[in-house]
Structure 1
Amino acid sequence: MFQFQDFMKQKKLFVLAGEVSGDLHASGVLDALRNQYPDLDVFGTGGVKLRSLGARLLYDTDDLSVMGFVEVLRQAFFLRKVIGDLKDSVLREKPDVALLVDYPAMNLHMARFLKRNAIPVVYYISPKVWAWKEGRVMKMKRSIDRLLVIFNFEVEFFARHGMVAEYAGNPVVEELLHLDMQPRKQFLRRHAINDGSVLIGLLPGSRKQEISLIYPEMLEAARLLGERYDAVFLVGKASHVNHALFEAYERIPGVRLIECSAYEVMQYADAALVTSGTATLEALCFGLPMVVVYRTGWLNYVIGKRIVKLHNISLANIITKGLLSDEQTVPELIQHEASGERMCREVSFLIENPLRREEMRAALLDARAQLASSSPSQKAASVISHYFELEQTHGTDRQLSC
């Protein structure tokens, strides 16, 4: 029977964020929840952001950030152990609600387990089933209680498959609203950069595999561009990445590299080379003229080529041109095309054609306006709060099982 003291019971939330971006987005939700539930107990996986908000992490994003089909297979034993440990923790801790953020390979598996154990599943930032493995939608319908998506077109996509998806707005747009960037002249003065220099951004990604495959080609492009222009290269390095990964490649005579944050690159660069991923969406929000690049192992590429049905890989093009369009707002250089020489050629075109840069900037900023929302973190927090209150009102006597 429901007792009054159940109203006073500490709420417990299970979170699974397997990547740096997921940790960032989940932290926004947790921050919003703390206003209503100051003593909320949170456990699961995440990174520095969630840990700073008091989450008890069984595994860190650094442990789980694996890129590519082949790499996932190589780490299969470890990932199975992670899943087993997470299931054990759920059975032991008995959370009231689960928040799953992106990271579909593990999260969809955990969603089924959570559903079997009558734990409400809130999935924030949908798997990109519109790009590949569309058949996963049926599994999602059976195991997810509330699906919160961050692109408008996803609502229509899931509706066609008989699944309700709620548009929460885009957390990237929300997070960028809180940035406090210094004026460009102050940035130039701080780094002793001549006012007439061309600033070219290099964003090589945050995973070891990306850096080792893409960054050397970016530096070759920098060498070639340095021969043509009075250029300074802004290198955006994620704070959590071991910077020794970069140092092995950075011995280029005559090329000036300035290490800064990814957001500083996006704010101040005249044009940039951007590794495909969340960074292209962030760069879109800044209206940064860019060339999107991507390289992976040959086997990963062959497998991906067979199963991904989109014409474009970058979120910048998908958002501005639509899911199935083969038109491009920003150039994409994939695999063998992502060579230093080709990168140099594409960036040179942007530098020498200011009208094209402004057209690209305008298209990207227009797309940003369409993504804007009041507060996706608050939306996700309110959904979780709804389940907390249901639990409080009705009580539960779940029998948890593997």
Structure 2
Amino acid sequence: MTEITFENLQQYRRDLHLIPELALVEFQTHAYLMDKITNWQNDTMTIRTVAELPTAILVRFEGSDPKRTIGYRSDIDALPIAEQTDLPFQSIHAGVMHACGHDVHMSLALGMVQYFSQHQPKDNFIVFFQPAEEAKSGGKLAYDLGLFEDEWRPDEFYGIHDQPDLPAGTLSTLVGTLFAGTAELVIDIHGQGGHAAYPHLVKDPIVAAAELIMQLQTVVSRSVDPIKGGVVSIGVINGGKANNVIPDNIHLEGTVRSMTRTDLDIMLTRIRQIAAGVALSNDITIDVVLESGSYLPVENNPELANQLIDFMQLRDDIAFELAQPAMTGEDFGYLLQQIPGVMLWLGVNDNHALHSPKLNIDEAALLPGFTALRDFIEWRMNQ
């Protein structure tokens, strides 16, 4: 049997970093993954694809003495970012980059498939290569299509996310909510434009937009428990073409984030109420679209998280830190609302943030990250 080496994981990561693809069009990535996985196929493995979600892959290992089914998930899509790393394996797809570390996630998942193809697991084990994490709600799409029914339903689910702020190879998680739930906010303000010299003859959408933006800042400060917190941020404002013309319309986009699903629902309701009030007071129309999709809070199951933390803290050869909650969004949160599980940070030691065009992960994270997760999964199978 061939053990999984750093060189194996590094090659997978670099190959995948070359070919980043956006949500639901990860066809070259899918082909690469399938080529590797089918080369390792044996009698204990079942490889599954589905026409309705063609870039998704599930691999199921039949356990030798199964008491449960354990799932491990890796996202596979990339971001619409032009890479600026000048690496020899820099993205060959213009304007698309693995700037969130999904190349790392896939490499560790491939390592899992390769390892368990050579060492039959005790419990049933499923590896899920998930498309469309960055957009399009791939986790929810997969669940709603019934991909996790009958023998394909894990009893517990695990996954990782890169963290540049942690040392390479350090694992980190907590009991409870690790990442926030998020919603995309799109607002269109429809007024009546005209000459800027005659503001009394128009219904000014710019003034309404300014009022709305300021009032939205009260959503967190006056509608959410200050101990829990939240975020309402506007990142896009479009409207107007001339300094002496009041436009008809203004377009806004933003993000809404909360650490609990209940508070997220409260915030979304309050945003709609504020928009309706501003529209009424300015005699204009405001259309609000709020889409949370599958980006619900990533809530670690307390029992499973405690077991994982205890395991890692007791191992001298595993670098582990307790995490703090983060306002990061992740659609693994949707799956964890349906199936108990745990998400962890994996430190990749870089001074560039996630989603930066210069993100350059420290590949020294690959082998210790893989080894710690594999060892935990095998330990868990013996509980």
Normalising by the residue count of structure 1, what TM-score does the alignment of the two structures yield?
0.30
More strand by share: 2
More helix by share: 1
Normalising by the residue count of structure 2, what TM-score does the alignment of the two structures yield?
0.31
Greater C-alpha Rg: 2
